[in-house]
Amino acid sequence: MAVDVSHDLLGAIGGVPRPETDVVVDARGVNKWFGRLHVLKDVSLQVKRQETVVVIGPSGSGKTTFIRCLNHLEKIQSGRIFVNGHLIGYREAGSGGKLVEDKEKNIALQRQEIGMVFQRFNLFPHMTALENIIEAPIQVRGAGKDEAVAMGRALLDRVGLAAKEKSYPNQLSGGQQQRVAIARALAMKPALMLFDEPTSALDPEMIGEVLEVMKELAREGMTMIVVSHEMGFAREVANRVVMMDEGVVVEEGTPDQLFSQPTQERTKTFLSKIL
Amino acid sequence: MARSIGSLGIRRARLAGFLLLLVFVVSACSSNKGATYHFEWDITFRSILSPNGAIINGLWLTIAISIVAQLLGVVLGIFAALGKMSKIWPFRLVANFYIWFFRGTPLIVQLTMFYYAPQIAHIVTWPTFGLGPFSFSDSAVTIGCLIMGVNEGAYMAEIVRAGILAVDPGQSEAAKSLGMNYRQTMSRVVLPQAARVIIPPLGNEFNNMIKNTSLLYALSVYELFTTFDNYAVTSFQYFEYFFACCFWYLLLTTIWGLVQARIEVRFSRGSGPTSTGISWRERLLGRANPDEISVLGGH
Ligand SMILES: Nc1ncnc2c1ncn2[C@@H]1O[C@H](COP(=O)(O)OP(=O)(O)O)[C@@H](O)[C@H]1O
Ligand SMILES: [Mg+2]
């Protein structure tokens, strides 16, 4: 299905959000356990302003967990995560370098800068497409209703869903729901967008329309981390591809390097399975 | 299968109940054991067709107390449910204790104890208060209503909790990832969706509430039951007055049943499969299941 995605997606939110730092994501030595399961082992990753990083790796390697740590949907046990210059989820307690969990208010503030798109969309089923989009700008940012609605409509228009503003999520196809979900995240004017396998719950014919929106975002200069095995997407817009396995960043490089000349055995094995 | 038998059972039970009542009344009228009892059925008819001020007042009190106590119960239930699920252990402790106590002791004991004990012990004299259109001039009404609401909150807590747990965790994650705080996440995203699960049992709770207000008899609150009981014992026309009393309760619970059906249909809108709703006829006569036919047919 051809979807008319506008070439001015970020125009709907007043232009490309400008992160305050050159390095938008700076994760250093992140360790995460689920009980006794060591899920992230000293993971470090830097993402520069306007970069698109694609994360690949076998199921269970910790990709989802890692990007959930970036907006503190998961706690970490050691390491530091900075997004847009802010330490995420924690504050330093005293001089010993010990971290304590931050106040709810500060965490909520940090999350406003980070848009997240889920595998299963997670739209609010009791709200229309437009209401989904304007909810957080009004409730969280304190935007006026008229202003939020105008921006919401512009966003819906740019993702090709202008006619669907009054539809409830269960009246939309998977691809349409995911596009609304992207618009909803963009409405908060985030400095960073996280995508967790945004097309893996979609029927094949709907994957293209969602990838189209994401490619447009990348081209317009949004900073993004995308967990996805869509090689075409990665080749087209990714600045870097990161390969994760068993909680470790195995290797990273440009899409060409990583897909054509992987240096690590684990990457080769994995690529041979998905290509 | 089980459902069809259940529904069939209900219809049979209704029929049987009605017949039993008829036989009972007829035989009671015609039996002549011991002293004669003169039935004065016009008392019943008058109490139904042209109720006096006391009955109207009792009816009004029953309705008002039920509504206020149920509203209080819902509010307390939400807080108790959130407390029970809180990350902060003192909240959990308080919520668990509250639920444990009020679900674990009889309502009539709670009413009697909390109303009389502090006054007998000269700790407090309960004040009176007015709440908008519900002006309770009597401290027994006020405090009784309050205790009924607090008791109801303990039951609502479990219902609300089940409702919250039924909402996909992805919903609160989506809300949080948009920068919403706990309060916004709960009030804007989680609770409205939990409502779909909470509304049906809430309707049943209110049905119980209407009937349970009769326990305020213990505090001499002149709601429906106490009013009719008073007439019965002073006139010795028990059957006549209590039949009328049943009529008024049945009227209230039946009307509520119809309202409840409306509300449930409305709340199933928006997501998930839409309920087909229950017709007035089905409400009154029970619903026939398609597979009931096979039960009747013996296959
Ligand atoms: N909430 C959780 N509790 C316990 N274990 C979890 C939880 N979430 C994920 N895991 C485990 O952590 C590992 C990494 O999972 P995940 O981050 O979802 O991997 P991926 O997204 O790469 O498939 C898996 O072994 C998974 O079973
Ligand atoms: Mg995953």
B119 within a domain of the structure (yes/no)? yes
Task: Decide if B95 is inside a domain.
Answer: yes
| CB contact B34 to A (< 8 Å) | no
3-class SS of residue B134 = strand
Q: Are B212 and B61 in contact (CB under 8 A)?
A: no
Domain at B72, CATH number: 1.10.3720.10
User: How much distance in Å is there from the Cα of A255 to the middle of ligand 1?
Assistant: 26
Mean pLDDT of chain B: 84
Average pLDDT over residues A161-182: 96
Q: Enumerate the residues of chain B whose CB falls inside 8 A of the CB of residue A124.
A: 171, 174-175, 189, 193
Tokens of A129: 């497409």
Chain A residues in contact with chain B using a Cβ-Cβ cutoff of 8 Å: 71, 73, 104-105, 108-109, 111-112, 114-116, 118, 120, 122-126, 135-136, 139-141, 168-170, 184-185, 188
From the list B171, B173, B179, the residue facing A108 with the nearest CB is B179
Q: Which of B86, B88, B176, B178 to mutate to test the interface with A (most CBs of A within 10 A)?
A: B178
SS (H, E, C) chain A: CCCCCCCCCHHHHCCCCCCCCCEEEEEEEEEEEECCEEEEEEEEEEEECCCEEEEECCCCCCHHHHHHHHCCCCCCCEEEEEECCEECCEEEECCCCEEEECCHHHHHHHHCCEEEECCCCCCCCCCCHHHHHHHHHHHCCCCCHHHHHHHHHHHHHHCCCHHHCCCCHHHCCHHHHHHHHHHHHHCCCCCEEEEECCCCCCCHHHHHHHHHHHHHHHHCCCCEEEECCCHHHHHHHCCEEEEEECCEEEEEECHHHHHHCCCCHHHHHHHHHHC
pLDDT at res. B120: 83
A249 close to A45: Cβ distance less than 8 angstroms = yes
Angle, alpha carbons B99-B85-A103 (nearest 5°): 135
d(Cα A214, Cα A117) in Å, to the nearest integer? 11
What are the tokens at A131? 């209401």
Q: How far apart are CA B126 and CA A215, in angstroms?
A: 69
Domain for residue B228, yes or no? no
Domain range enclosing B198:
53-222
pLDDT of residue B266: 80
Per mean pLDDT, which range of A10-14, A15-19, A210-214, A232-236 is the poorest?
A: A15-19
CB A225 within 8 A of CB A55: yes
- The pLDDT, as a whole number, for residue B34 is 57
Residue ranges, chain B, pLDDT below 70:
1-11, 13-14, 23-35, 128-137, 269-299
Which residues form ligand 1's pocket by a CB distance below 6 Å? Answer: A 34, 37, 39, 57, 59-65
pLDDT at residue B2, rounded to an integer = 44
Mean pLDDT of the A54-80 span: 96
Total count of domains within chain B: 1
Residues within 5 A (CB) of ion ligand 2 = A 64
Q: Would you state the pLDDT for residue B7?
A: 56
> Cβ separation of A71 and B180 shorter than 8 Å?
no
In-domain check, residue B5: no
Asked if B291 has any chain A CB less than 8 Å from its own CB, the reply is: no
Q: Is the pTM for the entire model greater than 0.90? A: no
What's chain A's average pLDDT? 93
Q: Could you tell me the two tokens for A69?
A: 């740590």
Give bridge partners of residue A34 from the DSSP assignment.
Answer: A37
Of A17-31, A134-148, A232-246, B8-22, the poorest mean pLDDT is in: B8-22
| Residue at B191 is within a domain | yes
Task: Specify if B109 maps to a domain.
Answer: yes
pLDDT at A141 over 80: yes
Cα distance between residue B84 and residue B162, in whole Å: 11
| pLDDT of residue A249 exceeding 90 | yes
CA distances from A29 to A59, B11, B95, B170 (A): 22, 68, 40, 27
> pLDDT, tens digit, for every residue of A86-101?
999 999 887 777 889 9
User: For B68, how many CA atoms within 13 A lie in the half-sphere containing its CB?
Assistant: 23
Q: Is residue B206 part of a domain?
A: yes
- Which of residues 252 through 281 in chain B touch A, CB cutoff 8 A? 270-272
| Residues in B touching A140 (Cβ below 8 Å) | 178-180, 184
pLDDT at residue A229 greater than cutoff 80: yes
Q: For A164-182, b where at least 16 C-beta lie within 10 A, e where not — what string? A: bbebbbeebebbbbbbbbb
Residue A7: the pLDDT is 79
The answer to the question of residue B34 being in a domain is: no
